[in-house]
Amino acid sequence: MSVYHESPLAQPGDGRSLLQRLTQRYGNVDSQALESILCPSLIPIQRLDKTIIKMPGQSHYRATFAIQMTSANSQLMLPGRTGKFVPETYISGGPWREICEGRVLEVDARTGVATGEVYVGSSSRSELALALEQLSQSDFLEVDQFGSSAKVLSGLVEYSLYKLGIDSGYNVRRMPEDVARHISDYFNYDFEFEKNNVVRKVESKSIWGTNTKYARLIHSKGRDYPTSSCKFATQDIFAVSLFLRTGNISDFAFARSVPRDVRPYGLPRAAAFPEHVHQNPLCQIGDGTWFATVDEVWDLP
């Protein structure tokens, strides 16, 4: 039985409503509160200026946008507020996709207009230009009201990977997120997959939101991590969620965590840190490095 359904509160078909099961732990929580946490606000763009500029003393390029403040969004329109631009087609039922990002810079209480910058997660002018080609005034700025959407997405991705492993015949263990020092060293990977007494360490990652052609193989810096790139030795397999590209939470690309100069199917090394993987390698299933199933990489040495 899946560990995600052991609790009697979560048994399907037990007569409890879904809302009651989702909120029972938190007491008096209504559906509006739950929706506000799970569903970021979608705010229309009033004006979009795609002229790319670089302000004096700043390292990144930007374009500008404006939003008409309303009773529904005014509480979110504050200088420094960030959001993600998502396509109009998502609103009408298409897949979710981040085009680029937006940040509120100024709020004019007299006119009720908030103005801000359109940017990407790098200082590259060409990457911003590419994003602006895909952005239109009919798209929306998505604002996470209570900072939960990234964590919810991460949890859903990990559950989908867990379920994929179980359905593929593996025993799957989700590693503790924090471990007391008197028990064990910290686990720098997310899952253990086991089959026929063989155990592989699997790390769940994502593609890069700025340019979804690339994976985002990053790790927090620390005593053993002088760079923000993952180490090759930390995990056996990378499982990269393709959600930002396909809009399907169940889509993954898998690669073995070995250097390309050691194995032809491996990943490139970080230039200045040869024990670490390049943090933004190209990620394309079928290119000899990335595979559609964990079975395809399981027995690769």
Tens of pLDDT, residues 220-275:
888 789 999 999 999 999 999 999 889 899 999 999 999 999 999 999 999 999 99
Tracing tokens 């590259």 back to the chain, one arrives at: 124
For 174, other C-beta atoms within 10 Å of its C-beta total 16
Q: How confident is the model at residue 158 (pLDDT cuts 50, 70, 90)?
A: very high
Residues 221, 227, 228, CA angle at the centre, nearest 5°?
A: 60
Give me the pLDDT at residue 8, please: 43
Q: How confident is the model at residue 28 (pLDDT cuts 50, 70, 90)?
A: confident
End-to-end CA distance of the chain: 31
Give the whole-number percent of the chain exceeding pLDDT 70: 91
Tens of pLDDT, residues 37-61:
999 999 999 999 999 998 788 888 9
Residue 2 pLDDT exceeds 60: no
In the chain, what are the domains?
41-143 (2.40.30), 149-180+187-298 (3.40.1350)
Beta-bridge partners for 267: 259
Q: How far apart are CA 206 and CA 228, in angstroms?
A: 15
Residue 202 pLDDT exceeds 60: yes
Give me the pLDDT at residue 40, please: 94
Minimum mean pLDDT range among 117-126, 250-259, 275-284: 117-126
Most confident of 7-16, 50-59, 172-181: 50-59
Q: How confident is the model at residue 4 (pLDDT cuts 50, 70, 90)?
A: very low
Amino acid at 116: G
Q: What is the mean pLDDT of residues 63-88?
A: 96
DSSP 258: S
pTM of the predicted protein model: 0.84
